[in-house]
């Protein structure tokens, strides 16, 4: 054992107040039961003291942790009073760590620890000991339990749960203000010695902060620490065991302390006077500049409210606090005029909105500055004398009459001349015009209130020297009414009178309308243009009149319709009147006066036949006539259809020949003998493809000689057909089974011509005669169109 361990063992024995030995002694009675033995203790009264004794005599074992020797660490010795030293007994150890951590010598009973023990892992071990006869293996002592307690040594330094702590404390705090508490722990036994007794001290952070040695509470050590001077502090705290004595183990931690802001600084303007400029043309609400007071505080402690507290421009300007930038924005409150005033002075105050009562002694928490605003001259547009104009004029005024005058002036000191004009978008009909020099508005077209009662004009005023600067003003022209329209019937009246009507019977009530709108309201009078023996007009004096009969009975056979002129006049000045004519039909009515028929022809029809039946009969007749006409047209068209529908008719068919033939030498396919003997076909034969309508006397043409070439024969027949009035009115093609020589026109096929490159000239078709005029127009016309396009 080392000297340090021996000293620790001695101290431990003194602390336990009993002899420190590591030997377990026991005596055994023959009957294996505890016996009492007699003895006298010094200072007794002579009586015997009886005490029971056990077979095992032992004490609690103690073992120091963290043994560093090379040999097994000796724990203690087990010994039985039955052990004669002849090796007949065997000691057995069981329990915690027996056989691995703790081993026992079977003969001597010595117990050793095989490895270093850490008390922080386990503080004590419970084991059981027994002595048996080696030969008989019978226990000579009963099994007994004992404890090996591990004594602590200072082998663990104090540790903090956090390597770095973060804390804060308000600035300007008094000395001793608690900041934060740090606590360290020590794994050593707190009940044994001072190994786990921790003392705190500050290694870094003085003289600003201090720490309580027993509790670890960090407190402020200086008064009035100002955040604006220094905001961050780093404090290093040490925790040391053994009560902080020399030789103790220690651990450290870092505490970052931040001084939080309080409102201990008032706002301050950097300048006592601020100069701003604003054009006089700035509209109301325009921001002309800003002021800002600085505050060393942050957050809500630096919030400032701006206001205008004095000056000669308090009614012309406003100030608004911008929360995000903490600026005061000065805006225009009323229109400015350089010619009226050119300089304004404002006194602006900035004040903290959150003031801490603890720091009133540092105040006041506000500041003021002087703001001088200069108004700059701007070439302003003209200004009208009014914001709008209203003119009233009668609709019957003469052309060129002045209806009103607008006035404008140049607000600038130069006072240039003004030119006036009308915005023609507001007067598309050009009814009005304006004098460009004096602003007089006059009429250029007649006015009519009944067409438009109001005219909304826009007048433009511009400086002659600067035409780009313009001003507009609305001009409202109201057209006053003049009695220039005569009253007329309100609606079209369909009037009838019954044949059995009596004198004085009402047949119609009429009313009138007038486009004019007199101030006293409409008043109409009704009368007849001339005395009428059949009807009369009775005025109801409420702008209506009644039409009455003057005699009994009317006859449709004599007169079926009467025309009654009615004169309608108004009462305005000048009086206007018109004559409206009522058409009165004479109708047959039943006994109740309901109209049945108004046509005189209805009397000729059977009495039981109604109007609907007559209409149905008429429709049937019309349908029959249409059917007859269609049938005749179809029959006529059928007569003109060809009797023989041949595939050789090129109007409707295209015949494809797959056999080219062998020319004139090929007599098997075609017989051209007829073409060689033109005399054989001299007799005129009627065409079989259509039905002849008129028979013409055929003209005799001289026969061609036998040796006439086929080309001459074809040309001769072509001339005959061109001059023959009996030829059909459409082009026809006669097919001859003779190819002949090459044609000067080459191929006439439109299919082949479509594949040729370039344009072709078809003017030669006009030389072929009237029969080819249509083709010449079709193809020649296309070329001409193409040229013109």
79-134: per-residue pLDDT in tens? Answer: 888 878 788 888 888 888 888 888 888 888 888 888 888 877 887 888 888 888 88
Categorize the per-residue pLDDT at 140 as very low, low, confident or very high, splitting at 50, 70 and 90: confident
Q: What are the residue ranges of helices labelled H in 446-576?
A: none
For the cut 60, the answer to whether the pLDDT of residue 459 exceeds it is yes
Residues 6+ apart with CB under 8 A from 407: 384, 385, 439
In the chain, % of residues over pLDDT 70: 76
Confidence band for 484, pLDDT divided at 50, 70 and 90: confident
Q: Does domain 164-260 have CATH number 3.90.1150.10?
A: no
Determine the pLDDT at residue 188: 79
pLDDT, residue 692, reads 52
What residues have CB less than 8 Å from 529, skipping those under 6 apart? 565, 566, 567, 579
Quick one: pLDDT at residue 238? 94
pLDDT at 149: 82
Q: Are 442 and 513 in contact (CB under 8 A)?
A: no
Minimum mean pLDDT range among 505-509, 598-602, 618-622 = 598-602
Among the listed residues 549, 570, 578, 382, the one whose alpha carbon sits nearest the alpha carbon of residue 463: 382
Which residues are within 8 A (CB) of 611 and not within 5 positions of it... i.e. 6 or more apart?
597, 602
The CATH number assigned to the domain with range 488-597 reads 2.60.40.60
Residue 726's CB is within 10 A of a number of other CB atoms, namely 15
In the block, tokens 């905001």 appear at 231
Percent of residues in the chain assigned helix, strand, coil, to nearest 5: 15, 30, 55
Could you report the per-residue pLDDT of 701-739, keeping only the tens digit for each? 555 455 456 778 788 877 777 777 666 655 555 555 555
The larger pLDDT score, comparing residue 379 to residue 180, is at: 180
Q: How far apart are CA 649 and CA 671, in angstroms?
A: 21
Query: Which of 1.10.760.10, 2.60.40.60, 3.90.1150.10, 3.50.50.60 would CATH assign to domain 383-480?
Result: 2.60.40.60
Domain limits, CATH 2.60.40.60, in the chain = 60-151, 164-260, 273-374, 383-480, 488-597
* pLDDT category of residue 606 using cuts at 50, 70 and 90: very low
Which CATH code of 2.60.40.60, 3.40.50.1860, 3.30.70.1140, 3.20.20.70 fits the domain covering 60-151?
2.60.40.60
With 50 as the cut, is the pLDDT of residue 384 above it?
Answer: yes
Q: Report the range of poorest mean pLDDT among 113-127, 349-363, 612-626.
A: 113-127
C-alpha 365/C-alpha 262 separation (Å) is 13
764-787 pLDDT tens trace? 777 777 778 777 777 765 444 444
CA pair distance 567, 581, nearest whole angstrom? 9
**Under CATH, which number does the domain 273-374 receive?**
2.60.40.60
Backbone angles phi, psi at 485, to 5 degrees: -130, 135
Long-range contacts, 654-659 (Cβ 8 Å, 24+):
none
Task: From 137, 23, 133, 128, select the one nearest 78 (Cα to Cα).
Answer: 23
Q: For the chain, what is the mean pLDDT?
A: 79
What per-residue confidence (pLDDT) applies to 757? 46
Strand 535-539 relative to strand 544-549: parallel, antiparallel, unpaired? antiparallel
Lowest-confidence range among 341-355, 504-518, 711-725?
A: 711-725
Three-state secondary structure along 595-627? Answer: EEECCHHHHHCCCCCCHHHHHHHHHHHHHHHHH
Of the ranges 35-44, 373-382, 635-644, the best mean pLDDT one: 373-382
The model's pLDDT over 528-578, given as tens digits with 9 standing for 90+, comes to: 988 899 999 999 989 999 999 999 989 888 898 999 999 999 988 888 899
**3-class SS at 520?**
coil
Above 50 in pLDDT, residue 67? Answer: yes
Look at residue 586 and tell me whether its pLDDT is greater than 80. Answer: yes
Q: CA-CA distance, 236 to 239, in Å (whole number)?
A: 10
Given a contact cutoff of 8 angstroms between Cβ atoms, the answer to whether 280 and 338 are in contact is yes
Count Cβ atoms below 10 Å from residue 259 Cβ, excluding itself: 22
**Structure confidence at residue 466 (pLDDT):** 84
Tokens describing residue 789: 């396009």
Work out the average pLDDT over 360-380.
89
């Amino acid at each position: 054992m080392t000297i340090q361990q021996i000293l620790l063992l001695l101290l431990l024995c003194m602390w336990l107040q009993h002899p420190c030995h590591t030997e377990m002694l026991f005596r055994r009675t023959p009957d294996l039961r505890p016996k009492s033995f007699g003895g006298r203790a010094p200072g007794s009264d002579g009586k015997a003291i009886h005490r029971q004794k056990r077979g095992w005599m032992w004490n609690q074992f103690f073992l120091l942790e963290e043994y560093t020797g090379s040999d097994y660490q000796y724990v203690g010795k087990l010994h039985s009073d039955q052990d004669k030293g002849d090796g007949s007994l065997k000691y057995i150890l069981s329990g915690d760590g027996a056989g691995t951590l703790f081993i026992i010598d079977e003969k001597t009973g010595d117990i050793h620890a095989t490895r270093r023990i850490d008390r922080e892992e386990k503080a004590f071990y419970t084991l059981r000991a027994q002595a048996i006869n080696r030969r008989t293996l019978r226990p000579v002592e009963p099994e007994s339990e004992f404890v090996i307690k591990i004594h602590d040594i200072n082998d663990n330094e104090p540790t903090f749960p956090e390597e770095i702590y973060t804390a804060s404390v308000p600035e300007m705090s008094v000395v001793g203000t608690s900041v934060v508490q740090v606590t360290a722990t020590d794994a050593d036994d707190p009940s044994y010695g001072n190994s786990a007794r921790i003392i705190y001290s500050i290694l870094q952070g003085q003289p600003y902060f201090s720490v309580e040695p027993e509790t670890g509470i960090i407190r402020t050590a200086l008064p009035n620490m100002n955040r604006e001077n220094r905001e961050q502090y780093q404090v290093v705290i040490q925790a040391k065991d053994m009560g902080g004595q020399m030789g103790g183990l220690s651990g450290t931690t870092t505490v970052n302390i931040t001084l939080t802001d309080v409102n201990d600084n008032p706002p301050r303007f950097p300048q006592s006077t601020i100069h701003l400029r604003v054009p006089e043309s700035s509209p109301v609400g325009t921001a002309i500049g800003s002021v800002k007071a600085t505050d060393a505080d942050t957050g809500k402690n630096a919030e400032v409210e701006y206001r205008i507290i004095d000056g000669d421009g308090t009614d012309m300007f406003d100030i608004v606090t911008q929360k995000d930038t903490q600026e005061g924005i000065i805006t225009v409150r009323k229109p400015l005029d350089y010619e009226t005033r050119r300089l304004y002075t404002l006194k602006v105050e900035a004040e903290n909105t959150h003031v801490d009562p603890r720091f009133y002694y540092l105040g006041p928490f506000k500041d003021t500055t002087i703001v001088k605003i200069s108004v700059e001259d701007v070439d302003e547009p003209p200004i009208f004398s009014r914001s709008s104009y209203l003119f009233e004029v009668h609709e019957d005024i003469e052309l060129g009459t002045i209806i009103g005058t607008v006035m404008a002036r140049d607000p600038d000191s130069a006072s240039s001349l003004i030119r006036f004009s009308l915005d023609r978008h507001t007067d598309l009909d050009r009814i009005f015009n304006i004098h460009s020099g004096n602003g007089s508005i006059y009429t250029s077209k007649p006015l009519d209130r009944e067409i438009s009662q109001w005219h909304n004009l826009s007048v433009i005023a511009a400086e002659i020297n600067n035409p780009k600067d313009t001003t507009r003003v609305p001009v409202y022209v109201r057209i006053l009414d003049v009695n220039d329209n005569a009253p007329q019937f309100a609606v079209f009246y369909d009037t009838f009178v019954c044949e059995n009507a009596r004198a004085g019977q009402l047949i119609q009530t009429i009313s009138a309308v007038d486009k004019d709108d007199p101030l006293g309201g409409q008043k109409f009078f009704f009368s007849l243009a001339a005395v009428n023996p059949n009807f009369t007009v009775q005025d109801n004096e409420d702008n209506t009149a009644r039409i009455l009969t003057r005699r009994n009975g009317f006859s449709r056979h004599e007169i079926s319709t009467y025309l009654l002129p009615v004169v309608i006049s108004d009462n305005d000045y000048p009086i206007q009147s018109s004559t409206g004519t009522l058409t009165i039909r004479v109708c047959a009515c039943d006994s109740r006066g309901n109209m049945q028929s108004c046509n005189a022809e209805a009397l000729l029809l059977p009495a039981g036949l109604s109007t609907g039946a007559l209409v149905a009969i008429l429709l049937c007749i019309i349908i029959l006539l249409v059917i007859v006409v269609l049938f005749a047209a179809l029959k006529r068209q059928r007569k003109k259809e060809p009797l023989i529908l041949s595939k050789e008719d090129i109007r409707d068919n295209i015949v494809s020949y797959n056999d080219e033939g062998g020319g004139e030498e090929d007599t098997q396919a075609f017989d051209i003998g007829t073409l060689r003997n033109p005399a054989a076909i001299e007799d005129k034969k009627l065409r079989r493809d259509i039905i002849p309508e008129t028979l013409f006397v055929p003209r005799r043409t001289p026969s061609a000689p036998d040796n006439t070439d086929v080309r001459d024969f074809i040309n001769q027949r072509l001339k005959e057909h061109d001059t023959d009035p009996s030829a059909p009115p459409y082009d026809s093609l006669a097919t001859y089974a003779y190819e002949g020589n090459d044609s000067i026109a080459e191929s006439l096929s439109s299919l082949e011509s479509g594949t040729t490159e370039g344009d072709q000239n078809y003017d030669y078709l006009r030389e072929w005669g009237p029969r080819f005029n249509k083709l010449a127009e079709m193809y020649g016309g296309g070329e001409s169109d193409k040229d013109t396009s």
